[in-house]
Amino acid sequence: MKNPVTILHTDNPEASRDVLAKSHPDLTIHTCDSYDALPAMITETGAEVVYSVRFAGTPGFPRQALIDAPTVKWVSIGGSGTDHMNPWNPETLTVTNAAGVAADMMAEYALGGMLHFSLNIPGFKAAQAQQNWISGRVEPIAGKTVLILGLGQTGMAVAARSKAMGLNTIGVRARPKDTPHVDEVHGMDALPGLWSRADFIVCCVPLLDSTRGLVGANAFQSMKETAVIIDVSRGGVIDEAPLIKALQGNTIRGAALDVFTIEPLPEDHPLWTFENTIITPHCSSVYDGWDLKSVEMFADNLWRYRRGETLLNIVNPERGY
């Protein structure tokens, strides 16, 4: 059985080491809690396996050290997105992700965004601030339609919760196939005819050349004036310029945004200013214990690696999953 030198690259190193050591007590484990220190640690230890969390954002992430290190054979990404690793050569480096580790939480975030607007929380909060007892009304989401962009683990979790709440579900994926809890599954090329059908649009796709700007000007022009867009994918999937125009002109109802082209979102960015927009700091996947659950997934996969078996969640750099 292999005994690869392993680095845990995370901002919670000791707890992560404890989780991994319980499953692999004989393994040589090193920890690193900074971007700057990782390249030297890889060189000094001759690490073969690196578990890595993008804990301080994409700028400065030591991608090149992971890509170029001759000893590193497998990089296990602690989250689901791997765009910060692109590109890599899958012939020389295996990259896996922790797809599903936060799917349920991100689906709850998406559902919360739907309810926020259907229950008119912005309007009631504004009236509350003015101590104004308005003639209020709420509306059900049951019977409405959600368009889910991407039917990976997160998209399927969104679909399951949406069906439980009585919504009609439409999904798009690169390779269409029957998917649980999804009433209709289409290819990406069907999107021009789907925007106008959706009351809610939830972005769950990885950031690739094919998905960058996927929700652009034509999409916003086709949406209902009552549509709400919710983004838990990656900054860049939504083209922010036409999004801002749609919010300014009230040609859509609102947006719940957890990801942005530039993160942190600059203080002078216009998206901060809209009352019909929810801004959260890329945290829809962050809940107590998510990182240790991810390490547990890594530990299970590490047994496969040590036994020479095929790993789970190997990412194709061209597909992003």
Among residues 63, 234, 240, 253, the one annotated as catalytic is 234
Tokens of 150: 């991407």
Among residues 212, 263, 269, 306, the one annotated as catalytic is 263
Minimal CA–CA distance to 228: which of 121, 100, 99, 80?
121
User: Rounded to whole angstroms, what are the CA distances from 291 to 11, 83, 94, 139?
Assistant: 9, 19, 21, 37
- Which residues lie below 8 Å from residue 191, measured CB to CB, with a gap of 6+? 149, 172, 214, 219
Q: CA 321, CA 319: separation in Å to the nearest integer?
A: 6
Determine whether 282 is an active site residue. Answer: yes
| Alpha carbon 57 to chain centroid, angstroms | 13
Q: CA 260, CA 238: separation in Å to the nearest integer?
A: 8
Q: CA 131, CA 18: separation in Å to the nearest integer?
A: 52
Minimal CA–CA distance to 148: which of 195, 213, 207, 212?
195
Tokens of 151: 């039917």
Contact call for residues 33 and 11 (beta carbons, < 8 A): yes
Residue 103 corresponds to which amino acid?
A: A
289: left (phi over 0), alpha (psi -120 to 50) or beta: left
Minimal CA–CA distance to 56: which of 24, 10, 117, 23?
10
Q: CA 238, CA 245: separation in Å to the nearest integer?
A: 13
Q: CA 148, CA 159: separation in Å to the nearest integer?
A: 8
Phi–psi pair at 277, nearest 5 degrees: -135, 135
Contact call for residues 50 and 77 (beta carbons, < 8 A): no
Active site residues: 234, 263, 282
